[in-house]
Amino acid sequence: GAVLWLHGLGDTGAGWQGAFGRVVRARPEVQFVHPTAPEAPVTINGGARSTSWFDIKTWPVGISEPEEPDGINQSVEFVHKQLDQIVQSGVPAESIVLGGFSQGGTVSLLAGLRYPKRLGGIVSISGWAANRVNVDAWVHPSAKETNVLFSCGVNDPVVDFGLTKRSGELLHQVLGDKIAITHQPRGAHQPAADEMERVYQFMIESLPDAF
């Protein structure tokens, strides 16, 4: 199995390396892939460049955030290429978990649900649905069978709960019981300990046991 994990705005792949020790202990065969986003100007940073999977225009990120933000389709293509490479290396798509934090969670939802093969699972922590108009039209039929873990903070100061709550509702309309949505009572953008515990458990259940 494999985990492809996407970091948040301004971070690097190295920022999350080593964060999944519990998963490694339970599934020692699993390969972890931690790519770093390209550098691009970000509107909320006054156009300053940083590692970014796509542009963000509202702060806190809210329900008025534009659909199809600049750069997101290129990031989806990048993730699809990474998934294809993992599959070509001999790991079946249904043994791959794709996930991420914040901006990375947003890309994971879009890329994972657009991917033409069913993945083992998709995780979004503090992410949102970047495209909220006609979700059913962009979710690939195979992806409707993929298990999704979507967690967000009720008092998140960076990503407004109005956006994450609506994102969860829209995804639930399309995915039904395949998506597990947790509204965390946290006032931070970073995940809480029990939230990460659920992520570890979801990953372990979604990844194949060693033969």
Active-site pick, 11, 55, 156, 160: 156
Pair 174, 145: CB distance under 8 Å: no
Active site annotation includes 80: no
Active site annotation includes 156: yes
Active-site pick, 52, 102, 126, 151: 102
Site of tokens 């809480």: 192
Active-site pick, 55, 126, 151, 189: 189
> What letter represents residue 196's amino acid?
M
Pair 127, 106: CB distance under 8 Å: yes
Q: Spell out the residues 6+ positions from residue 56 whose beta carbon is closer than 8 angstroms to its own.
A: 9, 42, 43, 44, 65, 69, 103
The rounded distance, in Å, linking the Cα atoms of 200 and 32 is: 13
Active site (catalytic) residues: 102, 156, 189
